[in-house]
């Protein structure tokens, strides 16, 4: 018992971020100056300009590369496309109004303008939910069983929904890793900020390793078509669910706040689950999908969700989506029709999801008044 307690205590310690910027290296801020004469100097490089920081972040993007397993790369067409994580025509087209949806485009400038609130902006529905993660050949070929035939909740279809979310999460983690030195440079004149960024950057390192491990597992399932390793539940709604989303996350607590899995700083890769809200054949669905090796965390999580009263579930799921991912896209009809209190509720969920603290339980954050006119029709375990 003592050994177990010591191991738990060790896993709760935050190791130091190991990457350092050489004084004679170019400053990560993009100024073209040596680090020692810029953000590594006594004046810390001067006051950061939000627009310049945003521009630098955009440049620190991962290499555009098709994220298929390496054994399939010989089939790739040249370059990558802006692949949709949420189906363009079926899902985004269902919620779009006058060719637009609401999406999150988080930037330093926008956060300053909104005084720290994370607010959605109108986005062309053809551009929403995209990332340069697949070439044209594989965006078509890999997902044909999902896009070219009616949705019937097969294990393969649920896996493909999840694979998109896992690939995007892997891509986003790559981008965050590339920005680690920039964060470090911009915090160089503040001891408190340096410690915070140190902790954040180490979490980013671990997150990248976890995302890579999950991607490899999903790649193996894809190549070998081991659909028997896929677990999923599919929730079907009466009415159009106003938030479309594709996300992958590591479970920590269930929807009521009970701890299921401790996300420490150890070497073990945490269990992961994907969550996709989409429309197929004019019907709204939410699919939770995971692999058999994550049963120990994902099964209790789903069991807790299924205990929720059906009347409360749409609002609980809306809170969960907003807390889980910035890859959420809203119906303008729904969002524009909300009161200021409703829009504040959306902002609060996004703010909760953006903190490093444990998220508030979705079951306690739900607001049924904002999800009227939609109800759960069925909850099916995919077998």
pLDDT score recorded for residue 44: 56
Residue 310 near residue 236, CB atoms below 8 Å: no
pLDDT score recorded for residue 53: 74
Predicted confidence (pLDDT) per residue in 94-130, tens digit: 999 999 999 998 877 877 787 778 899 999 999 999 9
Q: Which of 300 and 183 is assigned the larger pLDDT? A: 300
What secondary structure letter does DSSP report for 86? S
DSSP calls for 238-304 = ES--SEEEEEEEE--B-TTS-B-----SSSSPPPEEEEEEEEETTEEEEEEEEEGGGHHHHHHHHHH
CA 238 to chain centre: 26
Using the predicted structure, report yes or no on whether residue 12 has a pLDDT greater than 50: no
Mean confidence (pLDDT) of the chain: 87
Using CA atoms, how far residue 1 sits from 6, 12, 264, 267, 268, in Å, is 9, 17, 19, 20, 20
Using the predicted structure, report yes or no on whether residue 6 has a pLDDT greater than 80: no
Using the predicted structure, report yes or no on whether residue 17 has a pLDDT greater than 60: no
What the block records as the tokens of 328 is 């959420």
Predicted confidence (pLDDT) per residue in 171-204, tens digit: 999 998 888 877 777 776 667 767 777 777 777 8
Q: pTM for the full model? A: 0.86
Classify 103 as helix, strand or coil. Answer: strand
Using the predicted structure, report yes or no on whether residue 165 has a pLDDT greater than 80: yes
pLDDT score recorded for residue 1: 35
Q: Provide the pLDDT confidence category of residue 282 given band limits of 50, 70 and 90.
A: very high
């Amino acid at each position: 018992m003592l050994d177990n307690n010591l191991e738990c205590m060790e896993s709760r310690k935050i190791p130091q971020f190991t990457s350092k910027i050489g004084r004679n290296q170019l400053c990560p801020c993009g100024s073209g100056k040596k680090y020692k004469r810029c953000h590594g100097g006594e004046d810390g490089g001067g006051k950061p300009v939000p627009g310049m920081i945003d521009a630098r972040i955009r440049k620190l993007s991962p290499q555009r590369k098709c994220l298929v397993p390496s054994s399939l790369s010989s089939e790739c067409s040249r370059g990558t496309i802006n692949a949709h994580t949420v189906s363009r025509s079926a899902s985004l087209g269902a919620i779009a109004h006058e060719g637009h949806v609401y999406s999150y485009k988080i930037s330093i400038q926008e956060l300053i303008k909104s005084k720290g609130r994370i607010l959605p902006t109108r986005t062309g529905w053809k551009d929403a939910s995209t990332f340069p993660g697949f070439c044209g050949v594989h965006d078509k070929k890999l997902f044909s069983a999902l896009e070219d035939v009616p949705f019937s909740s097969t294990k393969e279809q649920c896996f493909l929904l999840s694979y998109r979310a896992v690939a995007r999460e892997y891509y986003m983690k790559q981008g965050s890793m590339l920005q680690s030195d920039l964060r470090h440079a911009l915090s160089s004149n503040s001891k408190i900020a340096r410690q915070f960024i140190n902790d954040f950057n180490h979490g980013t390192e671990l997150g990248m390793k976890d995302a890579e491990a999950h991607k490899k597992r999903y790649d193996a399932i894809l190549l070998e078509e081991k659909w028997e390793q896929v677990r999923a539940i599919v929730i079907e709604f009466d009415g159009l669910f106003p938030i479309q989303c594709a996300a992958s996350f590591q479970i920590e607590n269930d929807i009521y706040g009970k701890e299921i899995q401790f996300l420490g700083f150890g070497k073990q890769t945490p269990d992961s689950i994907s969550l996709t809200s989409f429309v197929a054949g004019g019907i709204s669905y939410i699919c939770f999908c995971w692999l058999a090796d994550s049963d120990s965390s994902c099964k209790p999580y789903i069991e807790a969700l299924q205990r929720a009263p059906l009347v409360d579930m749409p609002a609980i799921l809306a809170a969960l989506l907003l807390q889980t991912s910035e890859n959420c896209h809203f119906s303008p009809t729904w969002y524009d029709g909300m009161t200021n209190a409703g829009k504040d509720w959306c902002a609060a969920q996004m703010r909760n999801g953006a903190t490093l603290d444990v998220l508030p339980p979705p079951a306690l954050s739900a607001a049924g008044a904002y999800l009227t006119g939609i109800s759960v029709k069925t909850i099916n375990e995919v077998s």
